[in-house]
Every structure is written in C-alpha cells, then in structure tokens.
Amino acid sequence: MGERKGSTSTLVDLLLGGWMGAGLALILIIIINSISPHLDINPNLIALFSVNFFPHLFGGLVATLLLARRIRGDYIKNSLMLGLSTSIIYFIMTVRVNLYILIGFFLGSYLGGIISKRKYAEVERP
C-alpha cells in the first residue's frame, strides 16, 4: 500500500522537494542574519560561508533525505536532479544565485544521496 515501484522521482517530487530545500535555506539565512550582528566574527566570513554556503548545503541535504524515502534505487541521480530543482526554485524565489549557492545545493543533495543510498540499500536487500 503506497509503495512506489519506479526508481525515478516524478516532477511533483522534484518541485516539492526543491521548494522545501530552498525554503529551508531561506529560513536559515534569516536566522543567521538575525544572530550574526551579535557575534564578534568577521562579516566577510559570515557572508561567504554562513549566508552563501551552509544554509544551502543543509537545505539540499534535508530535501534529498526526505525525497529518498519516496523513491527506490538510483539515489545519486535523483539527488542531483533535486539539487538542480532546488537551485532553480531558489533562483525563482530570490532572483539571486552565485557559485557558492549552487555548490551548496549540489553538494548537499549529493551527500544526501550517498547517505540515503547507504541507509535504504540495506533495507531493500532480502
């Protein structure tokens, strides 16, 4: 009941996962921007890593792990497709994309694909 036979994600899965990953990245950016003025850290360092890289890495990772529960097999390919979908939806939401943001989404979704492959491949074995 409710188990999917296919191994690829559908367009709806990619759109919803991308929307969730981009939204999570935006929420984390807002939290970091509200906390960072109170910390005694170089603003360039915060802008480079905390605002442009780590929230997107985390958004791609979480979105991929949640999508991996719905698909079976070919986790890496589906995770990279989700990274592309998340990047496109993030661009639509903010009209702002740079290399760090793209690397963050793709690296996060790739790591999520590796983790989900290891986690769910053991479950599928008889």
Q: Would you say residue 80 lies in a domain?
A: yes
Q: Is residue 3, in this structure, part of any structural domain at all?
A: no
Please report whether residue 4 resides in a domain: no
User: CB 100: neighbour CB atoms within 10 A?
Assistant: 17
Question: Mean of the pLDDT values across residues 64-72?
Answer: 83
Percentage of the residues of the chain whose pLDDT score is greater than 70? 90
Number of structural domains found in the chain: 1
Higher per-residue confidence, 108 vs 71: 108
Phi-psi region of 98 (alpha: psi -120 to 50; beta: other; left: phi over 0): beta
CA-CA distance, 63 to 22, in Å (whole number)?
9
Residue 6 domain-assigned (yes or no): no
The Cα 6–Cα 25 span in angstroms is 29
The pLDDT of 13-25, averaged and rounded, is: 91
H-type alpha helices, 1-126 = 11-35, 43-45, 54-68, 75-94, 99-124
Say if 65 falls within a structural domain.
yes
pLDDT at 7: 61
19 part of a folded domain: yes
* Residue of 103, 100, 108, 106 lying closest to 46 (CA atoms): 100
Q: How far apart are CA 42 and CA 67, in angstroms?
A: 36
Average of pLDDT values for 26-45?
81
Report yes or no: 105 and 87 within 8 Å, Cβ to Cβ.
Answer: yes
Residue 72 lies inside a defined structural domain of this protein = yes
With respect to residue 1, please indicate whether it lies within any of the assigned structural domains.
Answer: no
pTM more than 0.85: no
* Average pLDDT estimate for 94-117: 91
Q: What is the pLDDT of residue 123?
A: 60
Q: What is the mean pLDDT of residues 38-44?
A: 77
Per the CB < 8 A criterion, the answer to whether 33 and 77 are in contact is no
The amino acid sitting at 104 is G
Mean pLDDT estimate for the chain: 84
Parent domain of 44: 11-124
